[in-house]
Amino acid sequence: MLYVAGEISGDSWGIFAFLCAALWNLPTVPALNSTDEVGTGQSIQKTYDLTRYLEYQLRTLAGTYLNYLGPPFNEPDFNPPRMTMGEMVPSATVDFELWRSLNDNARLAANYRAYTHLLCYLRGMDGQVAKAELRKNLGHFCTSLQGLVVSIASVMSSLGYPLPSPLGSTDPTWAQGPHATSPHNDFLKKMDDFWLLKELQTWLWRSAKDFNRLKKKVPPAALMLRLEARGF
C-alpha cells in the first residue's frame, strides 16, 4: 500500500517507526567476497586446459622428432631403458593409491619440479636440432611448457603454497646431457631424448588428472560467493 506523506495516519507512523527501529538494530550483514575463490578456480581451469593443449601439441611434435632421430627410435615397438638424463627428472609413474593419497601441495610441487626440469632439457634439445622447422616447433612447445610452469606457480601461490626448490641443476649446460659432447655417445643421447619425450607424455596425462581432481574441489564460479561473517 502506498501512502501520500500528508495522509499517513498515526497508526501508520507507528508501524513505520517500528520497522525503522528493527532495521537499525539488525546485525551487520556479512560482506560477499568471491575474488579469491574465482581467481583460484580460473587459475586451476586454465592450467588444466593448458595440460590438455600440450598433450595435443606433443602428439605431433613427438612423431616429427622421432622421425628426425630415425630408426630404431621411430619404430612403434622401440622401448629403451630409462637413461642417465631421464633419472634426473621425477618419474610420472606412481602407485595409484599413493597418487590418490597425495595432498594438494605435494601434487602441485611434483608437477612444478617435473616441468621445470623437462623444460630445461627440451631447451637443450632445441639448440641441437639441425632442421629449422623442427627447431621452430620445439621452441613453440617450450614456450607453451613455460606457460604451464608459470600457471602451476600461480595456482600454488593462490592456495598459499611456497614454490618447491629444484631437485638439481637447471643450468643450460646440464640440459645438453652427459653425452652431448661425445660423437661416440650420440646413440645414448638419442635414447635420452626418446625417453624424456615419453616421460613428458606421461606427465601431461598425469597432470590433467591432477588438475581435474583439484578443480572439483573448487565450486563453480557462480556459487563461489563466500560470507565473511565478522565475529565468527
Residue 3 has pLDDT above 50, yes or no: no
pLDDT in tens, 130-161: 788 999 999 999 999 999 999 999 999 999 99
Provide the grid cell at 35: 575474488
Pick 53 or 21 by higher pLDDT: 53
**Chain-wide mean pLDDT for the chain?**
75
Q: What pTM, to 2 d.p., does this model score? A: 0.72
Segments in the chain forming alpha helices (H): 10-24, 35-69, 84-87, 96-101, 104-128, 132-158, 172-175, 186-215
Q: Answer yes or no: is pLDDT of 168 > 50.
A: yes
Inter-axis angle of helices 35-69 and 132-158, nearest 10: 150
Tell me what pLDDT residue 218 has: 72
pLDDT (average), residues 101-128: 89
**From CA 144, how far away is CA 156, in angstroms rounded?**
19
At 220-230, the pLDDT tens digits run: 543 344 434 33
Report residue 29's pLDDT band, with 50, 70 and 90 as the boundaries. Answer: very low
Distance CA 119, CA 32 (A): 41
Which pLDDT score is estimated for 109?
94
How large is the average pLDDT for residues 62-73? 92
Average pLDDT over residues 87-93: 71
Residues 84 and 178 sit within 8 Å (Cβ to Cβ): yes
Residue 76 is predicted with a pLDDT of 87
Whether the pLDDT of residue 111 is over 60: the answer is yes
CA distance 48 to 65: 25
Query: Taking residues 91-109, what's their average pLDDT?
Result: 87
Q: Identify which has the larger pLDDT, 84 or 19.
A: 84
Grid cell of 104 as nine digits: 594438494
Per-residue model confidence (pLDDT) at position 107: 92
Q: Flag whether pLDDT at 172 surpasses 60.
A: no
Higher-confidence residue of 104 and 170: namely 104
